[in-house]
Amino acid sequence: MNRSLSKGLAIAVLVAAVSGCASGVKRADESARRPAYFAGGGKLAEDVTVSLNQEAQDKLADNLKFDQQKLLATVRRALEAKNLLAKAPDATLPKIEIVVTDIRVRSTFSAVMWGFMAGNDTVSGEVIVRDPAGQDLQRFTVSASYALGGLAGGQEETRMNWLYETFAQHTVEELTGTGSDR
């Protein structure tokens, strides 16, 4: 009996660990038929911005550990690594706009003590590539979620860096058409 209980507990822990971190991309219906704007290389964006919609702004008071500037810096670094951002301003190039629509960040105590049982940390946002006239060239939603905890996975820096890096990775993959679900 003790052995089957241990086996069941081990399986539950494994399932929780595997489902602890999730992320993904959802394309707007119309853009699902369009190729990724930056696919094939040779195209640049003038700049990237990150803003929060009203719902995310309202949640910010309860999620003080979310840092809009760190998310922007992480996405910018990922875009620069793929040579997708112009080195100098050029008003003839499209712009990438990220509008954060949902955020949730657990307290460090909750993440360490309760792990995935305290829910997950989440950053979701809409990514829009617009030409200089304001027309959408590509639009999709990115979400990153982190639910692991404990002493190793519950630390604030670990959780937030994972969210920002995963959000940036999915953004670049979708912009370039290199994502696994394309």
Domain annotation covers residue 53: yes
The count of structural domains within the chain is 1
Angle at 177 between CA 34 and CA 95, to 5 degrees: 75
Q: Are 114 and 149 in contact (CB under 8 A)?
A: yes
Buried-exposed string 77-111: b where 16+ CB fall within 10 A, e elsewhere:
ebbeeeebbeeeeeeeebbbbbbbbbbebbeeeeb
Side chain identity, residue 46: E
- Domain encompassing residue 132: 21-176
Mean pLDDT of 104-112: 52
Place 127 in a pLDDT band, splitting at 50, 70 and 90: very high
Domain annotation covers residue 181: no
Domain annotation covers residue 67: yes
pLDDT greater than 50 at residue 154: no
Place 65 in a pLDDT band, splitting at 50, 70 and 90: confident
pLDDT greater than 70 at residue 80: yes
- Residues paired with residue 125 on neighbouring β-strands, in sequence order: 100, 142
Domain annotation covers residue 110: yes
Domain annotation covers residue 16: no
Helix ranges restricted to H, the chain: 2-18, 54-60, 68-81, 108-114, 150-153, 156-176
Domain annotation covers residue 11: no
Place 31 in a pLDDT band, splitting at 50, 70 and 90: very low
Specify the pLDDT at position 57: 86
Please compute, for residue 114, the number of CA atoms within 13 A of its CA located in the half-sphere on the CB side: 10
Domain annotation covers residue 113: yes
Specify the pLDDT at position 114: 39
- The CATH number given to whatever domain includes residue 108 is 3.30.160.150
Place 160 in a pLDDT band, splitting at 50, 70 and 90: confident
Specify the pLDDT at position 167: 95
Domain annotation covers residue 38: yes
